[in-house]
Amino acid sequence: MIVDAAARSAFVARRMPGAPVVALRLVLPGGSRREAIPGQALVTGRMLAEGTAEHDWHALADLAERRGMSVAGWASLEAHGVAIDALGSEWERALELAAELAFASEFPADRLEWTARHAAAELTAQEDQADLMTARAFAEQLWAPNPKGRPLQGDAESLARLGREECRNFHAAALRRGGWLIVAGEIDESAVAVAAERCFPRLAPAADDGFSPAPPPPRAAGRREVRTRARDQAHLLVGQRTVDRRHPDYEALELAAVALGAGAGLTGRIPNRVRDREGLAYVASADLVAGAGLDAGRLTAYVGTGPKNLAQAERAIREELARFVAEGISERELANARSYLLGREPFRRETARQWADLAAHSLVVGLPLTDAAWRRDRLAAVDRGAGDAALRRHIELDALAVTTGLPTVD
């Protein structure tokens, strides 16, 4: 089955024989890139499971647990919606429940207050994760004021400003734009289609309205240092913005990323150098298109190491990046990377949940990502020349941003 945003239907059903779980995803194009108040998309998404005209939060939770369902309202940069994973026999009840959450959510004030307070507390608890704090600062360095530069939760002050109307209106606006309903599992596709039409009679497929969030700043070299609550480890991130998922160079950079350190285990130039040859870290990785979607992904080289090793680790990363851009990707690296990415394809759709999530991403970015032949052709079309040219176009060695997270000094 080919899924892309040009599909005329808002419904996508995929039969997966033997799958024990039916995965349902309602995807509405209203993520944090469209929010007026930071945290609005996440709180709106979560509020979908907090009470409807028919059921309060507890009744919803109880109903789900008794029927073996996991029910969640969610949000990402690009969308918010409902995710339900149900045991196979419950697919129709899951559809009805998703419709109730989408169309009859009440956004009760007391639950909204708690949901916002919970999100604020998550931000506080995350301060104990040194790698996450460093990544937050890195994202801000690369993107702010673009929404990619802040946590999905926003911040404590913005969360306190969110009221029922802000969430209700945000959700209603997303529904007006249309959306998609994806159901995957051991299902009868035609029966699901009939039930989907019954439960979601007003849902039209979302169309690209050309919306753009606040632009990020120009790429520039920069250095940021944050103090984390770690006692021992420092965290180092080096990188810059690269391309979005629809960019013609995406696959070339994706293949190059595998050669750099985004592949299996501890392979790739940067893990080899930092971990295997210099023994500097337990974790070392690198990517060139991390987080690419409607907005740009990023080159990210990451090392978690002792503070005394930071300078050596940064030097190693810079040298490996420079060597990679100068030498380009080798024939062997390219062949291995292609083989790796093609070999990964069955794992991206092994379960109904994975397939549904892949289909959701596919619809959001408007590419047929669930189509194995399309994917194979795109990867096959990249030769060394294309890979090297993409590296030189998108990696600016003199415009690398560096963020270090240093342990607390007693």
Partner 1 sequence: MIVGRRPESVAIPALPGEVERRRLANGLEVCLLRNRQAPIVSTALFYRAGCRDEAPGRAGVAHFLEHMMFKGSARYGPGEVDRRTQELGGTNNAFTSHDVTAYWFAFAADRWSEALAIEADRMRGLRLDPREVDAERQVILEEIDMYRDDPWEALELDVVAALFAGHPYGRPILGTADELRASGRDELADFHRRSYRADNAVLVVAGDLDETAAARVEEALGGLPAGDGERRAECPPPRCPERPTRVERRQGEVARLLVALPAPAADEPDHAELQLAAALLAEGRSSRLQRELVEVGQLCLGISATVSEHEIAAYFGVAAELLPSTDPGDVERRLLAALSELGTPAGEDELERARQVLRTDWVHEHERIHQQAVAAGVALTQFDLEQPGRVLRRVEEASAEEVAAAARRWLDPEGGIVVGACLPEGRRQSVA
Site for partner 1 in 59-118 (CB under 8 A): 61-62, 65-70, 85, 87, 114, 117-118
Residue 209 vs 232, nearer CB to partner 1:
232
The binder of partner 1 chosen from 9, 169, 312, 351 (CB under 8 A): 351
Site membership for partner 1, residue 306 (CB under 8 A): yes
* Amino acid letter for position 382: V
Smallest gap from residue 283 Cβ to partner 1 (A): 7
Give the span between the Cα atoms of 338 and 22, in whole angstroms: 31
Site for partner 1 in 11-50 (CB under 8 A): 16-21
Site membership for partner 1, residue 323 (CB under 8 A): no
Smallest gap from residue 95 Cβ to partner 1 (A): 18
Residues in the chain: 410
Q: Residue 8 to residues 12, 178, 205, 374: CA-CA distances in angstroms?
A: 10, 12, 7, 19
Q: CA-based diameter of the chain, in Å?
A: 64
Smallest gap from residue 63 Cβ to partner 1 (A): 9
Residue in the structure block whose two tokens are 């301060």: 127
Burial of 2 (0-12, 13-18, 19+ CB in 10 A): middle
Residue 147 vs 261, nearer CB to partner 1:
261
Residue 78 vs 251, nearer CB to partner 1:
251
Residue 169 vs 354, nearer CB to partner 1:
354
Give the span between the Cα atoms of 77 and 365, in whole angstroms: 12
Residue 95 vs 341, nearer CB to partner 1:
341
Residue 248 vs 346, nearer CB to partner 1:
346
Smallest gap from residue 354 Cβ to partner 1 (A): 9
Site membership for partner 1, residue 346 (CB under 8 A): yes
Site for partner 1 in 233-292 (CB under 8 A): 233, 258, 263-267, 272, 275-276, 279-283
Ramachandran sector of residue 298 (left: φ over 0; alpha: ψ -120 to 50; beta: rest):
beta
Residue 240 vs 305, nearer CB to partner 1:
305
Give the span between the Cα atoms of 372 and 317, in whole angstroms: 34
Smallest gap from residue 336 Cβ to partner 1 (A): 5
Burial of 148 (0-12, 13-18, 19+ CB in 10 A): buried
The binder of partner 1 chosen from 83, 94, 130, 386 (CB under 8 A): 130
Over the window 370 to 409, marking each residue x when it contacts partner 1 by CB under 8 A and - when it does not, the resulting string is -------------------------------------x--
Over the window 188 to 227, marking each residue x when it contacts partner 1 by CB under 8 A and - when it does not, the resulting string is ----------------------------------------
Residue 146 vs 153, nearer CB to partner 1:
153
Contacts of 283 (CB under 8 A, 6+ apart): 275, 302, 303, 304
Contact positions toward partner 1, by CB under 8 A? 16-21, 57-58, 61-62, 65-70, 85, 87, 114, 117-118, 121-122, 124-125, 127-130, 229-233, 258, 263-267, 272, 275-276, 279-283, 304-306, 336, 339-347, 349-351, 353, 407
